[in-house]
Amino acid sequence: MPIKKAKDFRGMPAKELAAHIRGLREEFFTLRVQQATGLLENNQRLRIVRKEIACALTVQTEGSLEQN
């Protein structure tokens, strides 16, 4: 799965972006549980998901600041 960049998130509507962030957070939680139990096969995926969450949250904040 390719890493999403800020430009990918900027085109999303606010509700879709919020839903995507929610999904990424759920995936991150699942990956953390797998890591704690020793079942995680791809450690790099943790880093990728964490960075995608940060990028999506940044774009979401930019959007809310533009509306004010």
Q: What is the rounded CA–CA span in Å between residue 62 and residue 10?
A: 9
Q: State whether residue 56 is helix, strand or coil.
A: helix
Q: 6-67 belongs to which CATH class?
A: mainly alpha
Q: Is 26 left (phi over 0), alpha (psi -120 to 50) or beta?
A: alpha
Domain boundaries, the chain: 6-67
Q: What's the pLDDT at 8?
A: 85
pTM: 0.87
Q: What's the pLDDT at 1?
A: 62
Characterize 8-39 residue by residue with b for buried, 16 or more Cβ atoms within 10 angstroms of its Cβ, and e for exposed: ebeebeeeebeebbeebeebbeebeebeeeee
- Could you report the per-residue pLDDT of 12-57, keeping only the tens digit for each? 899 999 999 999 999 999 999 999 999 999 999 999 999 999 999 9
- Could you report the per-residue pLDDT of 55-64, keeping only the tens digit for each? 999 999 988 7
Other Cβ atoms closer than 10 A to 56: 22
The letter for the amino acid at 17 is L
